[in-house]
């Protein structure tokens, strides 16, 4: 072995460590670049009022992204989270306001349905993509049955929560910090959180250790249902009325937010903080940034896709440096 080879081998751990650090910081860097671009295009947007307006709908997206993150942590994928958010919105704008006990019972039951989906997928070894795609039509149909036309009204207590205005920091930022902190602690800093992530990272080892993979799958899907319910409720609280199609775009946004935030489709590798940052990045890039750039609405979806592809390409290049 030559001296040059030894030097390269000694330098590799340091380079790999720097690459891992850069990869972990990539979601925050993406958000920072979007904010810098917005500040350059419209400096007045970087203010209390500006952030409140731009991030008004970021919290429902962040909650839907966290819901998708729990499913991805178990190596599954949920294609029904968008229509589920729409269903929850219809229940919230009608039954939860007019018949609170009935509305609450339906929302709790919907979380139970999500848990049963997790059990069905595991016990019958069914592809989660197929099962959740079928459920997306079920949730959509139920939403239309409850609210055939846009309408209804958010409960007063929910509107009061979503209209809360802290003195120094906009409500969306405060809510994002709370969501990221609570989920990060529960999933990344607790022993049971490690078990939930282990069901996607090393299911065989988890089974040998005596843990029930069925239970972990049920818990992950139940948590997805819980955060889907929170997303739909907050969305109605902010928009003040319901619509059966209001959450249809959230499915792809949630998947993109998880991946943009450093998550991966396999291995149980997810990041709650990264997922929330990814959701905020998409929320800012989805409308404010592209509007300030005077990109027509018809091209904004394509522009969001380009942003996601660029970030993923950067992750691939950084990952190669880790090896």
Render pLDDT for 150-185 as a digit per residue (tens, 0 to 9): 999 999 999 999 988 898 899 999 999 999 999 999
- Indicate the average pLDDT of the chain: 87
The pLDDT of residue 304 is: 67
Give me the number of domains the chain comprises. Answer: 1
Print the domain residue range for 183. Answer: 27-322
- Taking the mean position of all CA atoms in its chain, how far away is CA 311? 17
What is the four-CA torsion angle of 91, 108, 221, 313, rounded to 10 degrees?
40
Task: Round to whole Å and give the CA distance between 203 and 97.
Answer: 43
Structure confidence by residue, pLDDT tens digits, 177-230 = 999 999 999 999 999 999 999 999 888 888 898 899 999 999 999 999 999 999
Residue 16 lies in a domain: no
- Residue 1 in this model has a pLDDT that exceeds 80: no
- Residue 312 in this model has a pLDDT that exceeds 50: yes
Average pLDDT over residues 238-259: 91
Residue 163 lies in a domain: yes
Per-residue pLDDT band for 19 (boundaries 50, 70, 90) equals low
Residue 14 lies in a domain: no
β-sheet bridge partners, residue 242: 151
The pLDDT of residue 5 is: 47
CA distances from 30 to 156, 157, 158, 224 (A): 37, 35, 32, 26
Q: Which two tokens stand for residue 48?
A: 């209390």
CATH number at residue 156: 1.10.3470
Average pLDDT over residues 234-255: 92
Task: Round to whole Å and give the CA distance between 284 and 307.
Answer: 12
Residue 17 lies in a domain: no
Nearest to 251 by CA among 83, 131, 91: 83
Q: Which two tokens stand for residue 259?
A: 């991946």
Residue 18 lies in a domain: no
Nearest to 122 by CA among 207, 208, 186, 226: 207
Q: Give the number of other CB atoms < 10 A from CB of residue 205.
A: 10
Better-scored residue on pLDDT, 120 or 322: 120
Better-scored residue on pLDDT, 291 or 322: 291
Residue 6 lies in a domain: no
Residues in the chain: 323
- Residue 6 in this model has a pLDDT that exceeds 50: no
Dihedral (CA of 246, 249, 255, 260) sign: negative
Cβ(272)–Cβ(184) below 8 Å:
yes
Token pair 């993109």 is found at 256
Structure confidence by residue, pLDDT tens digits, 133-143 = 999 999 999 99
What single string gives the DSSP state of each residue in 23-62?
HHHHHHHHHHHHHHHHHHH-GGGSSHHHHHHHTTTHHHHH
Task: Round to whole Å and give the CA distance between 180 and 65.
Answer: 11
The pLDDT of residue 57 is: 86
Structure confidence by residue, pLDDT tens digits, 63-101 = 999 999 999 999 999 999 999 999 999 999 999 999 999
- Residue 313 in this model has a pLDDT that exceeds 90: no
Residue 13 lies in a domain: no
Burial of 202 (0-12, 13-18, 19+ CB in 10 A): middle
Residues 6+ apart with CB under 8 A from 119: 214, 217, 218, 221
Residue 220 lies in a domain: yes
Residues 6+ apart with CB under 8 A from 257: 61, 62, 64, 65, 68, 275, 278, 279, 281, 282
Residues 6+ apart with CB under 8 A from 239: 57, 154, 246
Would you call 294 helix, strand, or coil by DSSP? coil
Residues 6+ apart with CB under 8 A from 45: 38, 39, 51, 54, 288, 292
């Amino acid at each position: 072995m030559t001296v040059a080879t030894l030097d390269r081998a000694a330098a590799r751990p340091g380079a790999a460590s720097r690459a891992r650090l850069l990869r972990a910081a990539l979601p925050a860097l993406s958000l920072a670049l979007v904010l810098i671009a917005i500040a350059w295009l419209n400096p007045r947007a970087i203010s209390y009022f500006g952030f409140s307006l731009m991030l008004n709908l970021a919290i429902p997206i962040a909650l839907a992204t966290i819901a998708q993150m729990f499913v991805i942590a178990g190596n599954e994928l949920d294609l029904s989270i968008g229509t589920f958010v729409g269903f929850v919105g219809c229940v919230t704008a009608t039954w939860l306001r007019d018949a609170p006990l009935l509305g609450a019972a339906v929302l709790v039951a919907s979380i139970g349905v999500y848990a049963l989906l997790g059990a069905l997928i595991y016990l019958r070894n069914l592809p989660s993509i197929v099962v959740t795609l079928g459920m997306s039509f079920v949730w959509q149909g139920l939403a239309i049955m409850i609210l055939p036309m846009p309408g209804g009204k958010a409960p007063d207590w929910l509107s009061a929560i979503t209209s809360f205005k802290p003195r120094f920091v906009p409500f969306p930022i405060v809510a994002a910090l709370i969501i990221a902190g609570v989920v990060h602690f529960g999933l990344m800093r607790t022993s049971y959180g490690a078990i939930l992530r282990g069901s996607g990272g090393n299911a065989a080892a988890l089974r040998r250790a005596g843990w029930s993979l069925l239970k972990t799958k049920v818990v992950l899907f139940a948590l997805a249902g819980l955060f889907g319910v929170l997303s739909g409720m907050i969305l109605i609280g902010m928009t003040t009325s319901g619509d059966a199609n209001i959450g249809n775009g959230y499915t792809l946004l949630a998947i993109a937010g998880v991946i943009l935030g450093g998550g991966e489709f396999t291995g149980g590798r997810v990041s709650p903080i990264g997922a929330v940052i990814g959701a905020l990045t998409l929320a800012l890039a989805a409308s404010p940034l592209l509007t300030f750039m005077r990109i027509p609405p018809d091209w904004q979806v394509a522009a969001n896709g380009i942003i996601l592809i660029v970030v993923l390409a950067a992750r691939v290049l950084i990952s190669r440096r880790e090896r």
